[in-house]
Amino acid sequence: MAPLLEAKGIGKSFAEGGMEVPVLSDVDLSIGAGESLSITGASGAGKSTLLHILGTIENPSQGQVLYRKENVFDYSEEKLAEFRNQSLGFVFQFHHLLTEFNALENVMMPLMIRGEPAIQRQEKALRALEDVGLADKSSSLPGELSGGEQQRVAVARAIVTAPEILLADEPTGNLDRQTGEMLMDLLFRLNQDKQITIVYVTHNDSLAKRAQRTLHLQDGMIQ
């Protein structure tokens, strides 16, 4: 299968007190359209950093991220923004819902950024909330939802733009086991039904094993 998203020789270091502290070194990965990949590793191993680099919200110190064989860091600002907005969906480690906006408004946000007409925005956002089983909570504020429901709103927000690739950073991190498994059922349903490629970080080995492939990071390197 032709790779959809690849990382080649990714290195990342952060400057700390005048020293360069390496976080990732020489990370290679390749993922095809419709595949699922999990990333595991201890706290501080560089999982979020890798996901942020794959999602182009952080720059690598070395290496390339290729989308359909093109280095995304060679894109113009405009093309990069288009790639982020049209091809990627992101579920962050901490969901970052806007507390003063209700579930529907939070889910509509990426479509507003795209400049879609109001009616279309609303229809798509409602459909995404339906996909995550929360159509009845569309007018609830994040503070009126449980942690699991908030995380599902974050998933709805990530899929409302119909991304090709969903990057999820510990989407079940703050959920109990059963709610976590239901959230992963949802991600795999999206993977199966909509052929969304999913890359997710988890600390949970049994959730990691549900992916077609697992990548283990240790000291910033693939083990």
Ligand X SMILES: Nc1ncnc2c1ncn2[C@@H]1O[C@H](COP(=O)(O)OP(=O)(O)OP(=O)(O)O)[C@@H](O)[C@H]1O
Query: Which option in ligand X, Mg ion, none does residue 43 bind, with CB closer than 5 to 8 A by kind?
Result: ligand X
Q: Which residue lies nearer to ligand X by CB, 53 or 66?
A: 53
Options 34-42, 45-53, 108-116, 189-197: segment touching Mg ion (CB under 5 A) = 45-53
The binding site for ligand X (CB under 6 A) comprises 14, 23, 41, 43-49, 93
Q: Which residue lies nearer to Mg ion by CB, 48 or 161?
A: 48
Backbone angles phi, psi at 53, to 5 degrees: -70, -45
Options 42-50, 137-145, 173-181, 186-194: segment touching Mg ion (CB under 5 A) = 42-50
Parallel/antiparallel/unpaired status of strands 213-218 and 62-67: unpaired
Give least dist CB 220 to ligand X, A. Answer: 8
DSSP code, position 23 = E
The residue of the chain with the least Cβ separation from Mg ion equals 48
Query: Which option in Mg ion, ligand X, none does residue 94 bind, with CB closer than 5 to 8 A by kind?
Result: none
What is each CA distance from 117 to 79, 132, 138, 141, in whole angstroms? Answer: 22, 23, 19, 23
**Residue whose tokens read 């974050």:** 154
Give least dist CB 170 to ligand X, A. Answer: 6
Give least dist CB 43 to ligand X, A. Answer: 3
Distance CA 208, CA 223 (A): 15
| CA proximity to 104, closest of 52, 144, 72 | 144
Query: Which option in Mg ion, ligand X, none does residue 44 bind, with CB closer than 5 to 8 A by kind?
Result: ligand X
DSSP labels for 128-192?
Answer: HHHHTT-GGGTT--GGGS-HHHHHHHHHHHHHTT--SEEEEESTTTTS-HHHHHHHHHHHHHHHH
Give least dist CB 50 to Mg ion, A. Answer: 9
Query: Which option in ligand X, Mg ion, none does residue 62 bind, with CB closer than 5 to 8 A by kind?
Result: none
Using the rule CB under 5 A, is 48 a contact of Mg ion?
yes
Binding site for Mg ion (CB under 5 A): 48
